[in-house]
Amino acid sequence: MKIGLVLDHFDPRRGGVEQWTARFAHWLVRAGHEVHVVASSFADDALATGITAHEVRGTRTRTGFAAAVEHRLRTLRLDVVHDTGCGWYCDVLQPHGGARRAAFEQNQLLLPRAWRPWKRALARWLPRYREFDRLVARQYADDGRTIIAISKMVARDLARYHGVRPERMRLVYNGVDLVQFTPQNRARYRTPLREKLGVGPDEVLLLIVAHNFALKGVPTLLRAVGRLAASGAPVRLAVAGGKRHAAAARLAARVGVGPRVTFLGSVDDAAPWYAAADVYVQPTFYDPCSLVVLEAFAAGLPVVTSRFNGAGELLTEGREGYLVDDPANVEELAERLRPLLDAGARERMGIAARQLAERHSWDRNCREMLDVYSEIAETRRLAA
């Protein structure tokens, strides 16, 4: 098949959607498909033989980019066009960022309560938000495209906020590389990295991988670590990602856990840090289907995340980890972490987490996407 993939930036170092799309493009090439990528920029080392790059530059707005992408795609004669959330000219729309309105509402929870009505009022008038509304209206117009929801949470939000009929949607969870992320990494990385951090053999190392600290719940996590430490729990925390650590470091010091927290900064490969950790924690305010949670499962770590993470709906509480109802509730998070201070519970849940990941492999994710393409092609054939 001749397949077109659309995203803002074809650079796996930028974030989850970029990483997913680059890996998927390479998988499609290895599977024998002709792949065209349309984006505003490309990382030199992200391209591979069999991927044709189409750079769309010089647009000033999101709707301008979407229109320019449509113009370029119309010249390519592709079998399937798969957009990751940028435009409207596509056969498959897979909004990796989830339902935009749902994300907006969850982001309001990061603001002081008194500010929220003002933010909602401004959103009706600010040009940036009005343009988002115009883009979304065209993306979810009922004109035949298939919508991929990457979790049941996203499917519910798309129906609620954007009026997408259930029969237009297909559920395809993200997948994880079971070779790159594996419990076997512990033999190589666990001891040297824990020694580097000064983590003792009886200490419990929590890990979070996050760029947007506020959205992913880092402040809640720091305060929960403070609660646990105050009760005598031997906890440590490693925070990977993010560029501005000063405010988080001040909060860690304020709650009395400054020496227990290490800010690792950006890491090229998170796999060694999963190997060093005992528990993965992400009390996120909104995550459509967190790739890092799937990576933690694959690495054999129990996970504590929130009900606003689509990946969290895959776990069974008490088997692979726990969920928090309120990402801002420090006491609730601390109580979900307490059972995981027990080494036996961590070992049992870690084994179950790996088994869960094996049911959501990267290859399965890609095959399910290809099944959607085949469904579209068959529908076209029958209509011809």
| 361-372 pLDDT per residue, tens | 999 999 999 999
Give me the helix-helix angle, 100-108 and 152-162, nearest 10°.
Answer: 100
Do the Cβ atoms of 102 and 278 come closer than 8 Å?
no
Cα 384 from Cα 66, distance rounded (Å): 28
Phi/psi of residue 82, nearest 5 degrees: -120, 110
pLDDT in tens, 125-140: 777 778 888 999 999 9
Report pLDDT for 384. 66
Beta pairing partners, 42 = 10
Report pLDDT for 242. 79
pLDDT in tens, 282-325: 999 999 999 999 999 999 999 999 999 999 999 999 999 999 99
Intervals of the chain under pLDDT 70: 384
The CA–CA distances, whole Å, from 69 to 5, 37, 313 equal 11, 11, 34
The residues near 213 (Cβ < 8 Å, ≥ 6 apart) are 219, 239, 242, 244, 247, 248
What's the pTM?
0.92
pLDDT in tens, 321-356: 999 999 999 999 999 999 999 999 999 999 999 999
Do the Cβ atoms of 46 and 11 come closer than 8 Å?
yes
Do the Cβ atoms of 293 and 312 come closer than 8 Å?
yes
Neighbours of 276 (CB within 10 A): 22
Which single residue is written with the structure tokens 């890092």? Answer: 292
